[in-house]
Amino acid sequence: MIRRLVPWVIGVILILMYAFALVRPIGDLTGLPQLGEQLGLSISPVGWAWLVGAVAAPVLICLGCLWFPRARTAEVRLWILAAGLGTVALLQLEMELLAPLSTFFA
């Protein structure tokens, strides 16, 4: 029973971390245009690409990590899910390092 429960618990924790990784990009997607309006600026096309990409990346990577190894064992699926979460965290850190706020506004 516990041996079957542990993978599920780890999987749920990983999925919740994916959900948390989605919170801030959604906040930026909704908040930055409002901030731009207050400053009299608009979001540049590159900025929109960054904002939409930041929201899409965790969703697509999570779905891919759930769908791609669906025929594998639970252990392999968890490793792939963890690797996907690490990739999401890495891409977000990369975005923070590469895209300062000035690149979002036209």
Partner 1 sequence: MAKKSDRAARTSSLATGWTVEGDADGADRIAGEPEPRPAPLPEPEAADAPQQLSNSMTIVLGIFGGLYLAYLWIWFSWAKYMVTVTAAQLSLTTGTVGAVLQTVLYWLAPLAPALWMIAALRANRGGRGRGLMIWLIVGAIVLVPLPFLLGGAASSAAADAAAVSWGAL
- Copy the structure tokens of residue 35: 């901030």
* Residue 101 C-beta: closest distance to partner 1, Å: 4
Of 8 and 68, nearer to partner 1 (C-beta) is 68
Site of interaction with partner 1 (CB under 8 A) = 17, 20-21, 23-24, 27-28, 31-32, 35, 69, 72, 75-76, 79-80, 82-83, 85-87, 89-90, 92-94, 96-102
* Residue 2 C-beta: closest distance to partner 1, Å: 22
Q: How far apart are CA 26 and CA 40, in angstroms?
A: 22
* Residue 33 C-beta: closest distance to partner 1, Å: 12
* Residue 32 C-beta: closest distance to partner 1, Å: 7
Of 32 and 43, nearer to partner 1 (C-beta) is 32
Nearest in space to 62 (alpha carbons), one of 43, 45, 86: 86
